[in-house]
A and B are shown apart, each in its own frame.
Chain A
């Protein structure tokens, strides 16, 4: 059995305008030491999936009408608050996107890391302090003894993100959920942070869920990928499968809409027309049908389920593998003529 298994998770929010199905039937599993990349646009349900695992969605309005989140065999959706508090930060930790708003400005960085250690582990203040300095050192902060006594505003953006990672790793979690950990950072700092995460994963065997909209980051880190669109997983496979042989038109379009370093300027970008749908008024049939470049008549009627198209590689599309390959080829050829 996998360490973390999410089965048919549904996270719905009741609002005045109707039910927002932020996550609508998502399944995946995670083994120790593995990295899962979750990609998708804003509003596709990536972060809500993460917050569901952590049980941090505000309740109400959140509801979990179906599904289960099994962590080492235990369903987190049914776990008591006190049980959840033991798991959160200890077994499963999370790094948030914006290190500026997720660190408390009125406590020192060391204080905040010590808090996590003291809550979860029976250690003396002295030991907690030593451990804090150690994790700060692990994440590459110079002069960790002094830095532990400084406040977040005395840290630069990259260092704050390091401090967040230190906090997440303080209790040696089994799963680390990183929600856009480098989006707010410059590329040079991003490279530092990603390298650090890989390094720490190798050392501690942590499983990582990497949530990002940056396909480059996913290509660099992930073993397998889940592509999300409008609350659904629309494609799942290994990183190679999804990047080299995408079987869902959305994943393909996303890859084609990126400017590339190697072809840049010679090939015109192929944007995805329109905008992501509102989660309250989803289109009929396939959610992606209004924007899909390969759309057929039936797509507006049939809502495709996520199914195995090739061994281990799943996609939600009514087109067969041959039809998708053929369509990809056709559009590429047209593009080649244009470029």
Chain B
């Protein structure tokens, strides 16, 4: 799972030459400030800083998990990457090209390589279109397949790939259960053979027993089609399961990025630490033993974020210094190896070091087989 072959350019017919860089996607200082308008004249009285200076790299073939509480800007970031929203500032580099500078027709070419799966399988499928038409829509938009028959064949193929049956072609979304609908959403996303798929909480709305089906499907498709995922979720167990690297967001900023093992075993940012300690573990004994860091209060409003480090109002380790200075995302040293900086980045002046972690992570299997 962790070793995936690098994605090979999948012969996109729009003629873009093969891109050889390490990062498929890169966001640089990305900002989205929504104006708050008030009064009769609708004058701008402030800004909601939904995304406030995000730097993010997504490597080819990897799954980058993106976690954070509701309102932290995860979904806005996803929409900025796809250019469904025009950012206030910053760059989005897809295969090295700045997507935000592209014209309409060039954008169309990039779009076929970037797709999205939405959270709510009920709201994201048009109830008046048949499943066949829903999945064929991206094919039509991008003129794939010469005739309707061609496209139909491709759609039926896609239905099979996602574990539905080709006979479902003429049915309507209401005839399917939540899990099946999400499979339709997945089929639509992979229809054009994209390189990047943004999964915006794809399993949050599903029942536990169905979640695993969709997670496994996404994993299979990734292997089969060399896909790169940005996987947004608030369920940290699912994110840990599927991601190679994980980024944690708080109030419009990335506060920590690391590969999943490092992030879950040695979180440096106090916010990551408390998020991890808040996950309920399905193991009664472990639950009784562990200590949680219960954060006080709610996430502050992004319209009026706290001064200095945004997290200082809820941080158990905050000091005077944090109220006035804003930390940058900086490489963290690996434990015990002294000066060697790693891929692990965190934005904190007083990071949680070895042995300072308040709650110890679960180490053994909760379900003890065969005992």
Contact = CB atoms under 8 A, between A and B. Distances in A.
Interface of A: 41-42, 156-159, 186-192, 194-195, 213-220, 222, 239-240, 243-245, 253-266, 268-273, 275-276, 325, 328-329, 332
Interface of B: 1-2, 69-70, 177, 179-180, 207-213, 215-216, 219, 234-238, 240-243, 260, 264, 274-287, 292, 294-296, 298-299, 361-371
Contact of A328 (B70, B216, B286, B369): B369
Contact of A244 (B179, B180, B279, B367): B367
B279 to A, nearest CB: 6
Contacts of B362: 260-262
A210 B234 CA distance: 22
Given A257-B212, A271-B216, A188 B238 contact: no
B370 A328 contact: yes
30 contacts: A41-B207, A157-B70, A188-B275, A188-B278, A190-B280, A191-B292, A194-B280, A195-B294, A216-B281, A219-B286, A220-B287, A240-B284, A243-B366, A254-B208, A255-B282, A256-B367, A257-B212, A258-B212, A259-B238, A261-B236, A265-B241, A269-B212, A269-B215, A271-B212, A271-B215, A272-B213, A273-B213, A275-B179, A275-B210, A329-B369
A307 to B, nearest CB: 22
Given A191-B294, A257-B211, A329 B241 contact: no
Given A186-B234, A219-B281, A245-B371, A264 B208 contact: no
Contact of B237 (A157, A186, A264, A276): A264
Residue among B277, B280, B285, B370 with max Cβ neighbours from chain A (10 Å) = B280
A262 B370 contact: no
Given A190-B278, A195-B294, A262-B365, A271 B370 contact: no
A243 B295 contact: no
A261 B208 CA distance: 16
Contact of B264 (A41, A195, A261, A266): A261
B237 A187 contact: no
Contact of B240 (A159, A186, A259): A259
Contact of A257 (B209, B240, B299, B364): B209
B213 A271 contact: yes
Nearest to A212: B280
Contacts of A218: 282
Contacts of B281: 216, 219-220, 261
B279 A216 contact: yes
A268 B216 contact: yes
A219 B212 contact: no
A323 B361 CA distance: 34
